[in-house]
Amino acid sequence: MKNSTKIILTTFSLVLLSGCEGSKPSAPSQNKALDAVSPTHKTAKKGAMQNSLDSWLKDEWTPTVEKDKKIQEKYMTKKKPKLVTNSDRNSTNKGYTENKERSFTLQEYVDKAAVYMDAQGQSSESNVEKLDTMPGIGKKKSRR
């Protein structure tokens, strides 16, 4: 009886532990109907937030920041003269290109953010000051 219990427990343990071996990547199926329902490989799609950020960087941040002369001189390198094409005539940063070999610094971000905020016409008034002037929310400012 004791031997049969040991054999049963050993067999159960082996079956249980072999099931926890881990999933191995499966080969692509030859069955096209199965692949349509459950593909073995999926490509990751960008989400809505990533798409929004990418379009903002491309359409607003980069053109605005690259127009500034100080940013061009400090963080970008001069392009070597070449034959001018139509796309070069329309570019915003004529004569400068982004230097991919140098490291990005926090100071560069601060400088570029300051240029972007100035170009967007952001007011220097803080959100707290804006809330204070709203009726029913903040403190009433006395007008003298």
Q: Which two tokens stand for residue 27?
A: 């080969």
Q: What is the pTM of this model?
A: 0.47
H-type alpha helices, 20-135: 32-37, 48-56, 62-66, 69-75, 86-90, 106-120, 127-133
Domain boundaries, the chain: 54-133
pLDDT in tens, the chain (144 residues): 678 787 887 877 767 666 655 555 556 667 777 777 776 666 678 889 999 999 999 999 999 998 899 988 888 888 776 665 655 555 555 678 877 788 888 999 999 999 998 888 766 678 888 888 887 777 665 554
| C-alpha span between 43 and 49 (Å, rounded) | 18
Integer Cα distance of 99 and 1 in angstroms: 78
